[in-house]
Amino acid sequence: MNKKQVILTGRLAAPLCEGSRAWIRHHSGLVCTSRVVRIQSLTDRKAVFETMNSMYHVSLETYPFVMELPEAMCA
């Protein structure tokens, strides 16, 4: 049986662990997968893993650190 191939760009919202669900944040929201059965590859740029139902290929985004500063108060 061939599993459905899922290709996403986003970031892992929680550590990727076999036996647990994967949480992936992407432009449309948050994806919660079925249980991860095998992690094929995990780098700082891409995660490839198999769940009970699908094969995921996630291009990992890196977000620049943005610091919000409070507005200056004038007297």
Q: Examine residue 65 and state whether it is found in any structural domain, yes or no.
A: no
Q: Examine residue 74 and state whether it is found in any structural domain, yes or no.
A: no
CB of 34 closer than 8 Å to CB of 53: yes
**Cα separation, 17 vs 7, whole angstroms:** 19
**Look-up: residue for tokens 């992690």?**
39
Q: Examine residue 48 and state whether it is found in any structural domain, yes or no.
A: yes
Say whether 5 sits in a helix, a strand or coil: strand
CB of 62 closer than 8 Å to CB of 43: no
Q: Examine residue 68 and state whether it is found in any structural domain, yes or no.
A: no
**Cα separation, 41 vs 10, whole angstroms:** 16
CB of 22 closer than 8 Å to CB of 33: yes
Digit-coded pLDDT (tens) for 35-51: 999 999 999 999 999 99
Counting the structural domains of the chain, the total is 1
Digit-coded pLDDT (tens) for 14-40: 999 999 999 999 888 899 999 999 999
Domain of 51 in residue numbering reads as 4-60
